[in-house]
Amino acid sequence: MNIKLSKRLQWIADWVPEGSRLADIGSDHALLPVYLAKHKRISFAVAGEVNQGPFEAARRQVQGACMEMTVNVRHGDGLSVVKQGEVDCITIAGMGGSLIATILSADPKKLEGVTRLILQPNVGEDIVRRWLREQGWALVQEHILEEDGKIYEVLLAERLADRQLLEEHNERLYETRQLPCGIALTEDWLFLMGPLLSLNPSSVFVQKWEHELGKWERVLRTMEQAETEEARERRTAFAKKQAEMERIVACLQTLKR
């Protein structure tokens, strides 16, 4: 059985360290762990899936690849499918950022012994970044890619044993950055856009934020009929932020690689 991963899953696979004990949460058809097992990249994997249909599909995938000795398919919600200390790398892909943060927060003991998180939120990337910082993880790599008309961000975070080193890393990562055109990328903008992605903006990065800017403009138009004072104040605040985003996107576009 020859498994071909999507660009998105291939990028995640490439970030899984060799010899890892992996938990792929929301594994769907277990493509990622089976691919890694067939290429002898991992020593063990849990493919977790809460929905019955994908769970059965994952079992068939593992059986068809004859990987039952390496990939263990389990039915359950989030990290409930793994035992404490059982894995050292966790991948979660294709969910909203809020759900990813909820899954990781549900049972902190399940993260003991985990040294790497590879996360691909479909939306709410800023929620994931905030969670990582608040929970003592170091965001060390970010990648953005386009596939089949959709844009995805992949985040890689590691556990740093040295607490002082971790704090210094995170402070530098989210420190307000002055762009060459005189605009400041504050901590809030860095959480939203990505501290590493915005450092070397690609054409895909610019494409994403031009699209987001269009969505913000449409939201602003729906707020034009505001009648109450409170609603008008909200519109004014949103318009100010939208204008700031417009300036930031224009500035980053001049830096894109």
pLDDT of residue 249: 93
pLDDT of residue 14: 98
**Residue 71: in which H helix or E strand, if any?**
strand 71-75
pLDDT of residue 222: 83
> Same domain, yes or no, for 146 and 107?
yes
The alpha helices in 15-115, defined as continuous H runs, are 31-38, 52-64, 97-105
User: What range does the domain containing 35 cover?
Assistant: 7-173
User: Structural domain tally of the chain?
Assistant: 2
pLDDT of residue 257: 63
> Same domain, yes or no, for 192 and 122?
no
> Same domain, yes or no, for 146 and 19?
yes
Cα–Cα distance list, 171 to 51, 97, 162, 239 (Å): 39, 22, 14, 29
Q: What is the C-alpha to C-alpha distance for residues 70 and 46, in angstroms, rounded to an integer?
A: 9
Of 113, 142, 173, the residue at which a domain comes to its end is: 173
Domain contains 243:
yes
The one-letter code for the residue type at 222 is T
pLDDT of residue 235: 85
> Same domain, yes or no, for 34 and 153?
yes
CATH number for the domain that contains residue 207 = 1.10.287
Beta bridge partners of 138: 158
Q: Which of 97, 84, 74 is nearest to 25 (CA)?
A: 74
pLDDT of residue 221: 85
Model pTM above 0.85: yes
> Same domain, yes or no, for 58 and 126?
yes
pLDDT means per 10 residues in the chain (257 residues)? 89 98 95 96 97 94 94 97 97 97 96 97 98 97 97 97 92 94 94 96 95 89 79 86 92 81
pLDDT of residue 255: 81
> Same domain, yes or no, for 244 and 156?
no
